[in-house]
Amino acid sequence: PEQSQAIVIYTGWERHALVGSDVRLSCSFFSWRWTSEDVSFSWTYRPDGSRDTISIFHYTRGVPYLDNKGPFKDRLEFVGNPGRRDGSILIKNLDLSDNGTFTCDAKNPPDIVGRPSSVRLLVFENPIQAGVITGAIIGVVLGLLVLIVVIYYLMRFLVARRVFSLSVKHGKKKKEGSQQRQGPVPPADPSKVKAATSEKKKQESRKDKK
Amino acid sequence: MLLILLGVLILHIIILILLIVSTAASAWSVADGKGTDLWYSCITSNGGYHCKPSSNEDWIQAVQALMILSVLFCFFSLIAFLYQLFRLVKGGRFFFTAIFQILASVFVMCGAIIYTVMSPDDRAHTNFGYAYVLAWVAFPLCLISGLIYIVLRKKE
């Protein structure tokens, strides 16, 4: 008879999930021998605060057996690949009552001496309502857009006003300087100045874009 | 010139339609009897057609927001294109149109990537639906359209 050696079983330590979502509990093992045809996986469940352990899944001789009477009826699915030493299960539509410890025990005959490994499942209610994050992202992006547009036009307006006030000063100095010219000097037309500065700005921005 | 403008406009409208269908259609993940998407998970079971709101996890809300933003920005760029068509000086470039279009393509890319990475790992039974494919098709089209707008110049 072959001598049995130790087998080491790996699962996660803890899994967190939201109410209503699905969670995948992974289970794998290490063994010195090749994966035998009689490899078996079993999952058992112990609810938080209880001392009872129930069996919810068993895989042996190529056939998975799922819980069809207990708390996980119709919610379990076998998503593992026994040939690749993967005995993972998928639990769908989680509820707060699913909090507890899940234990995976794998056997790879003749390597059967091993310690089953446990993963703790924590199920949370989602503190954020549906749609709050959606609205927040959309609101922030559109708000930034509006802000950028407003700042852009504000800068243009301020620059145009500055140029206008400078040109008025320049015009006044010219007036004082040449007192000979008595003819009516038309005051600097603000709309013309604005058009001139916006044309300059357009040319400058076109140069920048190039 | 008129032909080019018409072609570009038609491309833009096609992209907008693709984005709207992708955002609204209920087919991002399809499996046997059910279709799920950003908004609802619907199952055709023996009882009929049951729909429940999609899991309100954070990532699904982010994908929702990004898809909506991409539709909005594509629409804004269409408006900007029509506006700039009539008001741009001769020789000018369609700068704002390009900016909005490229932003729209970035948003749809981010949304599709987040959905790909975060969707439940159940590949054995579920496949990606046509709305998901449309999102990935719309992304390069949108990007190309934006680049065309950068290169396009208004001639008289």
Residues A113-134 pLDDT 10s:
889 999 999 998 877 777 788 8
Distant-in-sequence, close-in-space partners of B113: CB < 8 Å, separation ≥ 6? none
A-B contacts at Cβ under 8 angstroms: 55
Distant-in-sequence, close-in-space partners of A12: CB < 8 Å, separation ≥ 6? A25, A26, A119
Per-residue pLDDT tens over the stretch A31-42: 888 888 889 999
> In angstroms, what separates the C-alpha of B3 from chain A's closest C-alpha?
25
A85: left (phi over 0), alpha (psi -120 to 50) or beta: left
Please check whether residues A110 and A159 belong to one and the same domain: no
Task: Write down which residue in A125, A153, A188 finishes a domain.
Answer: A125
Is the ipTM here above 0.85? Answer: no
- Tokens read off for A72: 């996980």
Q: Are A129 and A159 in contact (CB under 8 A)?
A: no
Answer yes or no: do B55 and A21 touch at CB < 8 A. yes
Q: Please state, rounded to an integer, the average pLDDT across all residues of chain B.
A: 84
Per-residue pLDDT tens over the stretch A6-22: 899 999 899 998 888 88
Q: Which of A37, A41, A38 is nearest to A29 (CA)?
A: A41
Name which of A18, A77, A142 is nearest B57 (Cβ-Cβ). Answer: A18
Answer yes or no: do B69 and A79 touch at CB < 8 A. no
Q: Are A32 and A18 in contact (CB under 8 A)?
A: no
What is the DSSP-derived secondary structure letter of residue B123? T
Per-residue pLDDT tens over the stretch B82-105: 988 888 777 778 888 999 999 999
Q: Quote the percentage of chain A above a pLDDT of 90.
A: 38
pLDDT for B55: 62
For chain A, how far is it from start to end, CA to CA, in angstroms? 82
- The answer to whether residue B141 scores a pLDDT higher than 70 is yes
CATH classification of the domain holding A76: 2.60.40.10
Please check whether residues A12 and A112 belong to one and the same domain: yes
Question: Cα(B131)–Cα(B78) distance, rounded to whole angstroms?
Answer: 22
pLDDT for A193: 44
* Between A177 and B68, residue with greater pLDDT: B68
pLDDT for B45: 67
Please check whether residues A89 and A51 belong to one and the same domain: yes
Residue B32 pLDDT class (50, 70, 90 cuts): low
What is the DSSP-derived secondary structure letter of residue A86? B
Give the pTM.
0.61
Question: Cα(B65)–Cα(A17) distance, rounded to whole angstroms?
Answer: 22
Residue range(s) defining the domain that contains residue A100: 8-125
pLDDT for B36: 62
Residue B108 pLDDT class (50, 70, 90 cuts): very high
Please check whether residues A14 and A94 belong to one and the same domain: yes
pLDDT for B105: 95
Q: At what angle are helices B130-151 and B2-24 packed, to 10 degrees?
A: 150
- Specify if A82 maps to a domain: yes
Q: Quote the percentage of chain B above a pLDDT of 70.
A: 83
Answer yes or no: do B56 and A130 touch at CB < 8 A. yes
Please check whether residues A112 and A146 belong to one and the same domain: no
> Distance between alpha carbon A151 and the CA centroid of its chain, in Å?
32
Q: Are A40 and A104 in contact (CB under 8 A)?
A: no
User: Does residue A17 sit at the B interface (CB-CB below 8 Å)?
Assistant: no
Kindly provide the b/e burial profile for residues A182-194, where b requires at least 16 CB atoms within 10 angstroms of the residue's own CB: eeeeeeeeeeebb
Please check whether residues A83 and A147 belong to one and the same domain: no
Domains defined for chain B, CATH in brackets: 1-28+56-154 (1.20.140.150)
Number of domains forming the structure of chain A: 2
Task: Write down which residue in A96, A125, A154 finishes a domain.
Answer: A125
Please check whether residues A22 and A119 belong to one and the same domain: yes
Answer yes or no: do B66 and A142 touch at CB < 8 A. no
> In angstroms, what separates the C-alpha of B56 from chain A's closest C-alpha?
5
Per-residue pLDDT tens over the stretch A59-86: 998 899 988 888 888 899 898 888 889 9
